[in-house]
Amino acid sequence: MDAKQMRKNKWQTTIFLILIIMITYLSSFITKFNLIESIATIPAAFSWIFSNLLITQESLEKLPQILEKLGETIFMSIAATTLAAIVSLFLAIMGSKTTKVNQTFSVIARFIASFSRNIPVVAWSLILLISFGQNSVTGFLALFVATVGFLTRAFIESVDEANQSSVEALTATGATYFHMISKAVIPQSLPQMLSWILFMIETNIRSATLVGILTGTGIGYMFDLYYKNMNYNLVALITFTIIIAVIAIELVSNKIRRVIL
Amino acid sequence: MEMVKELDPALIKRKRNGQINIKSGNKMDAVVKWTIWVLTALTILAFFFFDYTGLQLERAFTDTLHNIRVMFLEPGLSHFSWGEAFYQVGVTLGLGVLATIFGAIIAFFLALMAAENLSKPWLSNTVRVVVAFIRAVPTVLWVLIFAIAAGLGSEAAVLGMLFHSVAYLVKAFSESFEEVNPGIIEALRATGSSWWHIVINGVLPSTFTYLLSWTFLRFEINFSVAVAMGAAAGAGGIGFELFMASGFYFDLREVGFITYAILIIAIILEVISTRLKERYFPSSVKTR
Amino acid sequence: MSLLKVEGLSKFYDGETKVLKDVNFEVQAGEFLSIIGPSGAGKSTLLRCINRLVEINEGKVMFNGLDVGAMKKKELRKLRTNIGMIFQHYNLVPRLTVIENILHGRFGYKSTIQGVLGRFTEQEKEQAFYLLEKLGISEHAYKRCDQLSGGQQQRVGICRALIQEPKLILCDEPIASLDPNSSKVIMDYLKSISTEMGITCIVNLHQVEVAKEYASRIIGLKQGEIVFDGPSKLLYGEQIENIYGIESRELITV
């Protein structure tokens, strides 16, 4: 790198930094965000957390109820993810450039995926809430739609990565399209796909909490209820159970991933 | 090639019913199979645990179809103006920007502590455990918890969103740092450079574009998180308008308009981040 | 009647680049034919026109008296069961076992449902083991294919072609990714397939020496045109230079 190039790079970096600072300033202005004030609240927030978010003997009595709602939330995320995975598998096979049947289906599949992925899960739950009402099915469907969008994109990548040459070999033996999909493409991409499914279950448990607050179901509803009643001991307990559940699921999926990938 | 008359029976594995087995029966296949079975069983079981209060499935589906048709075919504004809509989208983007930029700055320092090649084992493990813990709490809970201390508003939203951004970026950044060619670090160490010299002259130049790309990928996520925080935690922005339009005014046209606005921004962000990924990342690295 | 007849075959990609120009030849049952030529001469495309992995643009390919180019989906499947194929990169499904990969050769005879469910008869499975035994790799039957060496994988590829009970085997650069020892093993097996089992073999090669040693007849291809067609013993230095152009000396020594 000669001196001229270096000087140019230095200029670029400076301009870039100025740009970032301007965007940050603009964002603070538009959102009325005060950096100093928020830094000042951090110690206060943490001292509040450590003095109020305590699990007491009394709150533990509610544990069975909380666990029941947590179970509902976990089940909802798993069901939404697995069923979405089945739909995504079909969409991915139609959408992938290596296995697509024809151009039209491929475009349709990619369009459905992009549409359901880019509308956030909150928007889906609010839309579905209007006619489905406050119950698990609303949350389930919202998670399902968003997951279909995400998994289809991930699965298309996995299918595209599958070894193209074995597909050619199977075609050469006189195998049909479905033979080729089920015996050459899926065996190669299945571990990768499972890894994505496990990742999505973890993500969906967190999203389910959010969806639950909006749709009044599951652990999110419990949290919202005690949060509004300012029963912070129960808020602490609920948060704690969610942490345990998410970390447990993460550990299990990491174990599975280590074997299959 | 001589003809083989007899097969060596020791080489053929048979099932219990005497049929020849063609699967290898190794651990990997077994785990894949079990994972699928367990997930299937849990999915079926799930429907018995659902809360079906007030659900009329048939009506709900036809209503939803009708609603979606109104939303997407006749979008319109009634409770606020175009200018207001732009402003609210700007607020949501602003929340995303702030959480992403502050998150990236904090994550950079934490990632230096978490990267195995730049840090001590105990420090890197501690950072990793703390990050895993932070990640396990849903963003909305962080925001709501901060809202008590800081009051509802952009401060609580940004601080709450910061936690997940930091957790996500620490993981991505530290993995990028760990991929730095060990030769570069060794060469600098041999010249007697201090730790900060190594970071600024060795690690930073070779990972800078990765860090920027990851930061942008996180911004894409933070946009939809900011929408969610607006709706569920009263953080303002277009998410809050969506919540009001659907939950208070029941104005489907406005819901449609807002959804379109979110969709357009999200697609623009996705296109940019796909470009970035194709350009800077090898095929093995993906969004998480 | 000849087993395979290629008449005026031409192939172009993007409507412009001509890969094959007016190719004509016939192959009798039981022949061991080698197609040689520099890379880019159109050898792979020629093979893939025979089982229509690549669509034919002009001319005709007749297999067993049937027009390959005019075949419908069902007839094409039937044609492909009669033609085995062996690839340079073996083209096995890496995560599956050796025995599963071999049985993939039976898909041409299966309905979609049977194939998807992996219903193979005991006879077929036993046949697969016989073939493995014959090619000397039966102890690897339950290993994953990606755990085998290149030479062993190519033998699995041969088994997969043989279990189809084909009349013709197409080999696309079968030894290009192998070391000299494994190459010899594979070529010996291919030769014995044609002499002992009477299966016709068409082998794409870029090594002239190997082609002259094994094939009874050689076709030389240069920029999509046949420039030599005759018994291998009649292929001399002059024609070789014609096929490979100026680079011939480098290529022969490779």
With a cut of 50, say whether residue B285 has pLDDT above it: no
pLDDT score at B6: 63
B49: confidence class by pLDDT, cuts 50, 70, 90: confident
The CATH number of whichever domain residue A182 belongs to comes to 1.10.3720.10
Residue of C77, B121, C96 lying closest to A176 (CA atoms):
C77
Please count the structural domains in chain A: 2
Provide the residue range defining the domain that includes A182. 57-260
pLDDT score at B94: 93
Has residue A100 been placed in a domain? yes
A-facing residues of B in 161-200 (CB < 8 A) are: none
Q: What string of H, E and C letters represents the secondary structure of chain A?
A: CCHHHHHHHHHHHHHHHHHHHHHHHHHHHHHCCCHHHHHHHHHHHHHHHHHHCCCCHHHHCCHHHHHHHHHHHHHHHHHHHHHHHHHHHHHHHHHCCCCCCCHHHHHHHHHHHHHHHHCCHHHHHHHHHHHHCCCHHHHHHHHHHHHHHHHHHHHHHHHHHCCHHHHHHHHHCCCCHHHHHHHHHHHHHHHHHHHHHHHHHHHHHHHHHHHHHHHCCHHHHHHHHHHHCCCHHHHHHHHHHHHHHHHHHHHHHHHHHHHHC
Has residue A42 been placed in a domain? no
Residues in C closer than 8 angstroms to A175, CB to CB, are 104, 107-108, 115
Contact call for residues C178 and C86 (beta carbons, < 8 A): no
pLDDT score at A3: 67
State the average pLDDT for chain A.
89
If asked whether residues A143 and A205 sit together in one domain, one would say: yes
Q: What gap in Å lies between CA C150 and CA A55, rounded to an integer?
A: 62
If asked whether residues A80 and A23 sit together in one domain, one would say: no
A235 touches C: beta carbon within 8 Å: no
Has residue A190 been placed in a domain? yes
- Cβ separation B140–A136 shorter than 8 A: no
pLDDT score at B1: 46
If asked whether residues A76 and A18 sit together in one domain, one would say: no
Q: Which of C89, C91, C172 to mutate to test the interface with A (most CBs of A within 10 A)?
A: C91
If asked whether residues A33 and A134 sit together in one domain, one would say: no
C28-39 pLDDT, tens digit per residue, is: 998 999 999 888
What are the CA-CA distances from residue A60 to residues A223, A234, A237 (Å)? 15, 8, 8
Has residue A48 been placed in a domain? no
If asked whether residues A25 and A75 sit together in one domain, one would say: no
pLDDT score at C206: 83
How deeply is B183 buried, as exposed, middle or buried, from its count of CB atoms within 10 A (0-12, 13-18, 19+)?
exposed
Return the residue of C nearest to B9 by Cα. Answer: C129
* Residues in chain C, pLDDT under 50: 248, 253-254
Spatial CB neighbours of C214, under 8 Å, sequence gap ≥ 6:
C32, C34, C187, C190, C191, C203
If asked whether residues A119 and A224 sit together in one domain, one would say: yes
The percentage of chain A sitting over the pLDDT mark of 70, rounded to a whole number, equals: 98
Nearest residue, CB atoms, B7 vs list C133, C144, C196: C133
If asked whether residues A66 and A19 sit together in one domain, one would say: no
C-facing residues of A in 186-205 (CB < 8 A) are: 187-188, 191
If asked whether residues A80 and A24 sit together in one domain, one would say: no
If asked whether residues A33 and A125 sit together in one domain, one would say: no
- Cβ separation A183–C93 shorter than 8 A: yes
- Cβ separation A130–B246 shorter than 8 A: yes
- What does CATH list as the number for C4-89+166-253? 3.40.50.300
B44 touches C: beta carbon within 8 Å: no
pLDDT score at C254: 44
If asked whether residues A66 and A163 sit together in one domain, one would say: yes
If asked whether residues A143 and A175 sit together in one domain, one would say: yes
- Cβ separation A38–B32 shorter than 8 A: no
Core vs surface per residue B60-91: b (16+ CB within 10 A) or e: beeebeebbebbbeebebeebeeeebeebbbb
A89-137 pLDDT, tens digit per residue, is: 999 999 998 888 888 999 999 999 998 889 888 888 988 888 888 888 8
With a cut of 50, say whether residue B284 has pLDDT above it: no
- Cβ separation A31–B91 shorter than 8 A: yes
* Residues in chain A, pLDDT under 70: 1-3
B10 touches C: beta carbon within 8 Å: no
A59-82 pLDDT, tens digit per residue, is: 888 899 999 999 999 999 999 999
Q: Which of A30, A137, A217, A256 to mutate to test the interface with B (most CBs of B within 10 A)?
A: A30
Q: What is the value of ipTM here, to two decimals?
A: 0.85
pTM of the entire predicted model: 0.87
A-facing residues of B in 47-106 (CB < 8 A) are: 47, 49-55, 57, 59-61, 63-64, 67-68, 71, 87, 90-91, 93-95, 97-98, 101
B129-141 pLDDT, tens digit per residue, is: 999 888 888 888 8
Has residue A132 been placed in a domain? yes
Nearest residue, CB atoms, C139 vs list B11, B13, B26: B11
C191 touches B: beta carbon within 8 Å: no
Contact call for residues A91 and A131 (beta carbons, < 8 A): no
Residues in C closer than 8 angstroms to A187, CB to CB, are 93, 95-96
C107 touches A: beta carbon within 8 Å: yes
Domains identified in chain B and CATH numbers:
80-280 (1.10.3720.10)
pLDDT score at B282: 56
Binding partners of C (≥3 Cβ pairs within 8 A): A, B
Return the residue of B nearest to A239 by Cα. Answer: B137
- Cβ separation B4–C133 shorter than 8 A: yes
